[in-house]
Structure 1
Amino acid sequence: MARGDLTGEEWSLVEPRLPSGERGPIPDLRQQFNAVVRRFRAGGPRRDPPAGYGPWSTTRDRFRSWATVGVFERLTPVMIAEAAARGQADLDLLRRRRVKAVTAGS
């Protein structure tokens, strides 16, 4: 797990809220989500992700498909509300890792 990747507990909050693939479960879904989040958090060259995140084109395609269907706009407020219900410590953790609401055109 790379620095900044979601912990197991954080992933358990995110995973059920991501759309499933058209042909069934998406392999390496957690890795792809971490790659998309890393791109927003750390910036850096789009076509030069760190080893372990997979091809840059997969990250781009996954981001576009999620942004097009509004995953980030729906995920952020739900995650904050759920973290608040679990307690202040979880809320602080999610605020540090929150993904900005973005659109496919951004």
Structure 2
Amino acid sequence: MGYRKGYYKKDGTYVQGHYANNRSKSFSNKNNGCLVLLLAALLLALPISCSDSSSSSEPTTCPTKTCGDFSSQSAAQSTYNSNKSCYKNLDADGDGIACENLSKQISKQ
């Protein structure tokens, strides 16, 4: 809404100043620039946020464990099964069996 000043028509008659609704029901041209900038920023931020979240799928508080930290294969296997993404270094060949070189004793944990 804005105040339209009085003006003279071509036929010489004077139109009194009044409030007029200058905006249409759709977006005005003034707002289209802001809308375009907002969409561009959103499109640029989306791949960045997706790439950051996919690369940080591992927890950052994983303790560093090696096969030398365990006395038996079953103890290493139970630790590996508790969080496979965190302890993936216990399974060198990727077959799902942790520390295959350790003896297969029953752990007392």
**Fold conserved between structures, TM > 0.5:** no
Relative CO higher for 1 or 2, CA cutoff 8 Å, sep ≥ 6?
1
Please identify which structure carries the higher strand content.
2
Asked which structure has the greater CA Rg, the reply is: 2
- TM-score by length of structure 2 reads 0.20
Please identify which structure carries the higher helix content.
1
